[in-house]
A and B are shown apart, each in its own frame.
Chain A
Amino acid sequence: MNENEVIEKLKAQIIEQLNLEEITPDKIDSNAPLFGDGLGLDSIDALELIVLLERQYGLKIADPKDGKDIFKSIQSMADFIIKNKK
């Protein structure tokens, strides 16, 4: 998968996993913050994203401190997936 395909797949998975009703992939800015403004996700959503990475991509976050950068935006999550997916 190329970067765009990863981003589009990730958007669809996040919408489904987090029950983001009435949000479609085209409404999500890949560079917008996931937490706070942007999509307005909360701490439980953060845990769901960790589970999503592990279940869908087999990726674990070794150092919790990295989470802040990985979950900054859809783009940063996609970068992490592309870099670490075997």
Chain B
Amino acid sequence: MTNSILHSACTIRENKITLNGEAIFESDLTKTFSEFAKEAYHYFDLNYPKFFKMDNLSKLGMLSIEGILLTQGVRNIINSDKCALILSNHSSSIESDKIHAKSISNLVNFFPSPSVFVYTLPNIVLGEIAIKNKMQGENLFLLSEKFEAKQLFISTETLFETSSTNTAICGWIEFDGNKWESLVYITQKIEDPNQKNGNFMPHTIQEINKLYNA
């Protein structure tokens, strides 16, 4: 196991974006996810029209990354092939899958939408994030029954030990209709064994679970 730290974390739940424990954007709970996402898009001043063509899973992933990138100094460390992206969820791309399935269920009116079909894989969210933020490192999308800190921890530590990866943006991007939530956090490998962790929490399964349950 490497010496690594948890750098920062961003959660999005119940129409609220929280960065490192502090609410940075909040929308009325009566708003749908689409309405919330549009408001958050303007809050982040994204100026990225492709956002509106994405499925909800990718929108949630994009907003989560925008949130964590507000942490001072983080933008400089992700534009590197040493920064990995490791995300996970339970419902895969179920929402886009259902829309696509419906579009091909009627053989008379058979008009599947290419722009829906391209989102019928959960790892597309990784590509959208990587393209927007010019990330060129390793990427991985994991499926699990529920949030699994251990799975994320092992995957990240394996990359730290076996590749040039020294930073990873990890987390949980779950979207299934009205049930949605996200947590992304940044973990960094400490290269110098004598370097202290400073004010940062150690990268451990227990601390990752604390971030999710906060």
Q: Which A residues lie at the B interface, using CB under 8 A?
A: 18-22, 40, 42, 44-45, 47-48, 51, 54-55
Tell me if A47 and B114 are in contact (CB < 8 A): yes
Cβ-neighbour of A18 out of B51, B112, B115 (below 8 A): B115
Cβ-neighbour of B49 out of A20, A44, A48 (below 8 A): A20
Question: What B residues does A54 contact at CB under 8 A?
Answer: 111
Most chain B beta-carbon contacts within 10 A, residue among A22, A40, A44, A54: A44
**Smallest CB-CB A-B distances: 8 pairs:** A47-B114, A21-B52, A55-B111, A19-B53, A19-B52, A44-B115, A48-B115, A44-B114
Tell me the nearest residue of chain B to A39, going by C-beta.
Answer: B49
Tell me the nearest residue of chain A to B49, going by C-beta.
Answer: A21
Tell me if A44 and B118 are in contact (CB < 8 A): yes
Shortest Cβ distance from residue B170 to the other chain A in the assembled complex, whole angstroms: 28
Sampled A-B contacts (29; CB under 8 Å): A18-B53, A18-B115, A19-B52, A19-B53, A19-B115, A20-B49, A20-B52, A21-B38, A21-B49, A21-B51, A21-B52, A22-B49, A40-B49, A42-B50, A44-B53, A44-B114, A44-B115, A44-B118, A45-B53, A47-B114, A47-B115, A48-B113, A48-B114, A48-B115, A51-B111, A51-B112, A51-B113, A51-B114, A54-B111
In angstroms, Cα B52 to Cα A21, docked, is 6
Residues 65-107 of B contacting A (Cβ, < 8 Å) = none
In angstroms, Cα B118 to Cα A2, docked, is 35
Question: What A residues does B118 contact at CB under 8 A?
Answer: 44
Question: What B residues does A22 contact at CB under 8 A?
Answer: 49
Question: What A residues does B38 contact at CB under 8 A?
Answer: 21
In angstroms, Cα B49 to Cα A22, docked, is 9
Question: What B residues does A51 contact at CB under 8 A?
Answer: 111-114
Question: What B residues does A18 contact at CB under 8 A?
Answer: 53, 115
Residues 17-52 of B contacting A (Cβ, < 8 Å) = 38, 49-52
Apart from A22-B49, A40-B49, A48-B113, what are 4 other A-B pairs with CB-CB below 8 Å? A20-B49, A44-B114, A45-B53, A51-B111
Shortest Cβ distance from residue B103 to the other chain A in the assembled complex, whole angstroms: 10
Most chain A beta-carbon contacts within 10 A, residue among B38, B50, B112, B115: B115
Question: What A residues does B115 contact at CB under 8 A?
Answer: 18-19, 44-45, 47-48
Question: What B residues does A44 contact at CB under 8 A?
Answer: 53, 114-115, 118
Question: What A residues does B52 contact at CB under 8 A?
Answer: 19-21
